[in-house]
Structure 1
Amino acid sequence: MKLHILAAAFGAVALMVAGPVRAQEADSLEKAITLLQQDPISALAELERLSAAGDAEAMNMVAIVVSDPPPGIPADPERAMQLWEQAFANGSKGARLNLGTRLLLNDDAGDDARAVEMLRDVEPDLMGIAAYPLGRAYLFGNGVEQDLERGSRLMETAVQQSPGNMDAQFLLGRAYQNGWGIQPDPEAGYRHLKIAADAGDYRAQWQVGMMLLDGVGVAANPALARQYVQRSADAGYEQGMISMGVMLAIGQGGAVDAPAARNWYLRAARGGSGHALRGLGAMMAVGEGGPVDLATGAAYLQLAAESGDQIARTLLRQLSTQIATADPAKVRLAREQWVSANGAPR
Structure 2
Amino acid sequence: MSYQLRREEVVDVAGLQAMLEESPGKAAQAILAAAGQGAVEAQLLLGQILLDGRGIEADASVARRWFGIAAQGGNAMAHNMLGRCLEHGWGGSADLSQAAIHYAQAADAGLDWGLYNLGNLFATGRGLPANQAQALMCYEKAAHMGHAKSMNLYGRYLEQGIATAPSPARAVRWYRRSAEAGDFRGMFSLGLVLVERGQVAEAAPWLEKARVEGNMNFLRAALVTLQGAGPVLMAFAARYADEIERRGA
Q: TM-score per shorter chain, which class?
A: 0.7 to 0.9
Which structure 1 residue ranges, 5 or more long, are not aligned?
Answer: 1-84, 325-346
Out of 147, 153, 156, which is 2:68 matched to?
A: 156
Structure showing greater Rg = 1
Residue in 2 that maps onto 1:264:
174
Using the size of structure 2 for normalisation, the TM-score is: 0.77
Aligned residues: 229
SS in 2 for 1:184: coil
Distance, in Å, in 2 between the alignment partners of 1:180 and 1:310 is: 24
SS in 2 for 1:203: helix
Write the deviation string for residues 132-163 of structure 1: whole angstroms up to 9, x where unpaired.
33223212222101111001012212222x12
Residues 212, 218 of structure 1: 8 Å contact kept: yes
Residues 158, 171 of structure 2: 8 Å contact kept: yes
- Written as runs of structure 1 = structure 2, the 5 A alignment for 1:249-328 is 249-287=159-197, 292-298=198-204, 300-305=206-211, 307=213, 309-310=219-220, 312-314=222-224, 317-318=227-228, 321-322=231-232
CA RMSD of aligned residues (A): 3.2
Which structure 2 residue ranges, 5 or more long, are not aligned?
Answer: 235-249
SS in 2 for 1:146: coil
Alignment CA distance shift 1:109-1:317 (3 Å): same
Residues 155, 172 of structure 2: 8 Å contact kept: yes
Letter of the aligned partner of 1:104 in structure 2? L
Using the size of structure 1 for normalisation, the TM-score is: 0.57
- Written as runs of structure 1 = structure 2, the 5 A alignment for 1:210-221 is 210-221=120-131
- Written as runs of structure 1 = structure 2, the 5 A alignment for 1:46-125 is 93-94=5-6, 103-106=15-18, 108-120=20-32
Letter of the aligned partner of 1:179 in structure 2? G
Out of 137, 142, 145, which is 2:49 matched to?
A: 137
Cα offset, 1:105, TM superposition = 3.5
The yes-or-no answer on 1:172 pairing with 2:79 is no
Cα offset, 1:172, TM superposition = 1.2
Distance, in Å, in 2 between the alignment partners of 1:251 and 1:302 is: 27
**Identity over aligned residues, as a percent?**
25
Distance, in Å, in 1 between the alignment partners of 2:121 and 2:188 is: 24
Residues 28, 55 of structure 2: 8 Å contact kept: yes
Alignment CA distance shift 1:233-1:100 (3 Å): closer
Cα offset, 1:114, TM superposition = 2.1
Distance, in Å, in 2 between the alignment partners of 1:154 and 1:104 is: 17
Residues 265, 276 of structure 1: 8 Å contact kept: yes
Write the deviation string for residues 88-138 of structure 1: whole angstroms up to 9, x where unpaired.
88xx552798568665344642344224334545797x3575643322321
- Written as runs of structure 1 = structure 2, the 5 A alignment for 1:196-207 is 196-207=106-117
Letter of the aligned partner of 2:82 in structure 1? L
